[in-house]
């Protein structure tokens, strides 16, 4: 590296307002030092049919998840970086029939996995999986249940958006084997929703959510803060509305990330959309939402997730951050197999050709730097963070324990950590959660290089 950082390089600022002041700048999605130091080794392991059966049996004790991607959307929401294909007439039948073939072929290649490993979670993500027709999606859900050994406790989530996600679809998909629906609501403010490209009104959102709740599935939503033109009263009114007027089981609270050159970024640049709230305002929004969700009886369950009942587990999201084997299906899907990252063909024509030829439609097989470092401290970090705390000092690499104690004591003094109520290690405070991405990156860097002091 050529330099040896001081421990004070990792310290937070001491202030009376850690939520807005703990670090100098806005949280940025910069790659961590630890990740930059690792180059993914070149993949020399052959095709999926050659490496898949043995590799998926190498660590059968790991959780197993199935991820199905549906990369189609009715239109491009202004803030979204995940849009790939426009939903076209007849897409549902054609895409579902490709998924059905891919599921059967994959299960055939992974016969031993099917016999010996049970699936803990299935997730339909997108794109907009809820745009699939009722019977097409039901057939795909059933095929996964028929072809793989799905644990009776498995969480089976279908993601979607409120427009077109009818109660009738929800009922049919629960009958087919789904038990959780996750909807990207983002805001319940009708005017703000329209600016984001969301066409349904607040009342339509409420009706859709309650209609889906009647299916018996756990219904959860995404809410965002830091939206253009949004202020604290608007955000708190969203929380009031979804708490008082809907029966949802939980929600994820996210900060809007405005990606350069996204439709949202361009609209703001052209003056067609209000500016994004200032960073300090976003921090205060987070703090206000955090307190209000407690007031409404939500339990803070994982860093971004809140729930209203114990049935809601957010299992897939919690597994996705850990050492979970994940089999991808569909176009533009991501999967994982220990230290190997898997990605399916993003281009729908290539995906179609490969599936029709009977091949697993992988376009990317690589040792994942993300996975490589998960065997050690960052794995402990993921697990601890999911429990709303930092890893006990006994789980740190031995040579970092003394300096680690010093660092944690400083972060506690800065208002980011508190002694946990069960006496085991340190919990994150509200400010600690706001800065949790920054803390995670700092800790990954801290144990990646020798630190002076």
Encoding tokens for residue 355?
Answer: 């599936």
Piece of 124-132, 237-245, 335-343, 376-384 that binds ligand SF4 (CB under 6 A): 124-132
Site residues for ligand SF4, window 172-191 (CB under 6 A)? 184
Question: Whole-number minimum distance, CB 78 to ligand SF4, in Å?
Answer: 9
161 binds ligand SF4 (CB under 6 A): yes
Q: Which of 33, 49, 57, 80 binds ligand SF4 (CB under 6 A)?
A: 80
DSSP string of 373-434? GGGTHHHHHHHHHHTTB---GGGS-GGGHHHHHHHHHHHHHTTSEEE-TTSSSEEE-HHHHH
Q: Which of 63, 126, 211, 263 binds ligand SF4 (CB under 6 A)?
A: 126
Bridge partners of 343, per DSSP, are: 334, 364
Please state, as a whole number, how many other Cβ atoms lie within 10 Å of the Cβ of residue 383.
Answer: 16
Question: Whole-number minimum distance, CB 83 to ligand SF4, in Å?
Answer: 4
Piece of 80-88, 208-216, 240-248, 260-268 that binds ligand SF4 (CB under 6 A): 80-88
Piece of 77-85, 216-224, 343-351, 356-364 that binds ligand SF4 (CB under 6 A): 77-85
91 binds ligand SF4 (CB under 6 A): no
Q: Which is closer to ligand SF4, CB of 17 or CB of 204?
A: 204
127 binds ligand SF4 (CB under 6 A): yes
Question: Whole-number minimum distance, CB 225 to ligand SF4, in Å?
Answer: 16
Question: Whole-number minimum distance, CB 351 to ligand SF4, in Å?
Answer: 17
Q: Which of 92, 106, 128, 331 binds ligand SF4 (CB under 6 A)?
A: 128
Question: Whole-number minimum distance, CB 76 to ligand SF4, in Å?
Answer: 5
**Cβ(362)–Cβ(422) below 8 Å:** no
Contact flags string 33-72 toward ligand SF4, x per CB under 6 A: ----------------------------------------
169 binds ligand SF4 (CB under 6 A): no
DSSP strand pairing (119-126 vs 150-160): parallel
193 binds ligand SF4 (CB under 6 A): no
Question: Whole-number minimum distance, CB 70 to ligand SF4, in Å?
Answer: 9
Q: Which helix (H) or strand (E) holds 205?
A: helix 202-213
**Cβ(328)–Cβ(71) below 8 Å:** no
Encoding tokens for residue 292?
Answer: 């209000």
Q: CA 168, 173, 176, 181: dihedral to nearest 10 degrees?
A: -150
76 binds ligand SF4 (CB under 6 A): yes
Question: Whole-number minimum distance, CB 222 to ligand SF4, in Å?
Answer: 9
Q: DSSP letter for 6, please.
A: B
**Cβ(239)–Cβ(291) below 8 Å:** no
Distance CA 187, CA 165 (A): 17
DSSP string of 45-79? S--HHHHHHHHTTSSTTS-EEEEEEE-EESS--TT
Q: Which is closer to ligand SF4, CB of 76 or CB of 379?
A: 76
Phi/psi region, residue 41 (left: phi>0; alpha: psi -120 to 50; beta: rest), is beta
Piece of 50-58, 74-82, 256-264, 269-277 that binds ligand SF4 (CB under 6 A): 74-82
Q: Which is closer to ligand SF4, CB of 106 or CB of 128?
A: 128
82 binds ligand SF4 (CB under 6 A): yes
Q: Which of 10, 83, 290, 433 binds ligand SF4 (CB under 6 A)?
A: 83
Site residues for ligand SF4, window 139-158 (CB under 6 A)? none
73 binds ligand SF4 (CB under 6 A): yes
Distance CA 331, CA 361 (A): 8
Distance CA 302, CA 310 (A): 13
Q: Which is closer to ligand SF4, CB of 300 or CB of 346?
A: 346
What are the residues whose beta carbons fall under 8 Å from the beta carbon of 80, sequence distance 6 or more? 73, 262
Piece of 26-34, 43-51, 126-134, 234-242 that binds ligand SF4 (CB under 6 A): 126-134
Q: Which is closer to ligand SF4, CB of 161 or CB of 360?
A: 161
Distance CA 187, CA 239 (A): 9
C-alpha torsion sign, points 73, 76, 78, 79: positive
Q: Which residues bind ligand SF4 (CB under 6 A)?
A: 73, 76-77, 80, 82-83, 126-128, 161, 184
């Amino acid at each position: 590296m050529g330099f040896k950082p001081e421990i004070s390089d990792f310290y937070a600022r001491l202030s009376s307002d850690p939520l807005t002041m703990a670090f100098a700048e806005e949280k940025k999605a910069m790659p961590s030092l630890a990740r930059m130091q690792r180059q993914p080794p070149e993949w020399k392991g052959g095709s999926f049919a050659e490496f898949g059966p043995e590799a998926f049996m190498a660590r059968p004790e790991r959780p197993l998840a199935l991820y199905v991607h549906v990369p189609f959307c009715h239109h491009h929401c202004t803030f979204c970086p995940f849009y790939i294909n426009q939903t076209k007439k007849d897409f549902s039948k054609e895409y579902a029939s490709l998924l059905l073939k891919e599921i059967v072929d994959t299960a055939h290649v992974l016969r031993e996995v099917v016999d010996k490993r049970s699936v803990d979670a299935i997730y339909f993500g997108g794109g907009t999986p809820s745009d699939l027709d009722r019977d097409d999606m039901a057939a795909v859900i059933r095929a996964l249940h028929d072809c793989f050994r799905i644990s009776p406790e498995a969480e089976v989530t279908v993601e979607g958006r409120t427009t077109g996600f009818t109660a009738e679809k929800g009922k049919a998909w629960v009958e087919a084997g789904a038990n959780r629906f996750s909807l990207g609501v983002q805001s319940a403010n009708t005017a703000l929703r329209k600016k984001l490209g969301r066409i349904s009104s607040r009342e339509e959102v409420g009706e859709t959510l309650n209609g889906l709740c009647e299916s018996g599935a756990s219904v959860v939503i995404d809410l965002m803060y830091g939206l253009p033109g949004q202020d604290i009263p608007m955000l708190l009114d969203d929380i009031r509305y979804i708490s008082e007027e809907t029966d949802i089981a939980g929600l994820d609270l996210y900060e809007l990330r405005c990606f350069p050159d996204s439709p949202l970024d361009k609209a703001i640049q052209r003056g067609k959309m209000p500016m994004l709230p200032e960073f300090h305002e976003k921090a205060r929004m987070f703090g206000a939402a955090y307190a209000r969700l407690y007031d409404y009886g939500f339990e803070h369950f994982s860093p971004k997730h809140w729930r209203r009942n114990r049935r809601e587990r957010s299992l897939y999201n919690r597994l996705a951050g850990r050492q979970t084997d994940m089999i991808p299906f569909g176009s533009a899907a991501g999967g994982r197999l220990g230290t190997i990252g898997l990605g399916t063909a993003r281009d729908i024509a290539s995906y179609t050709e490969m599936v029709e030829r009977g091949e697993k439609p992988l376009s990317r097989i690589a040792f994942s730097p993300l996975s490589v470092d998960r065997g050690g401290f960052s794995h402990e970090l993921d697990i601890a963070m999911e429990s709303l705390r930092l890893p006990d000092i006994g789980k740190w690499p031995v040579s970092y324990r003394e300096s680690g104690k010093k660092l944690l004591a400083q972060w506690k003094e800065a208002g980011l950590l508190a002694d946990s109520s069960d006496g085991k290690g340190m919990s994150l405070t509200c400010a600690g959660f706001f800065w949790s991405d920054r803390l995670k990156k700092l800790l990954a860097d801290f144990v990646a290089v020798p630190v002076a002091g």
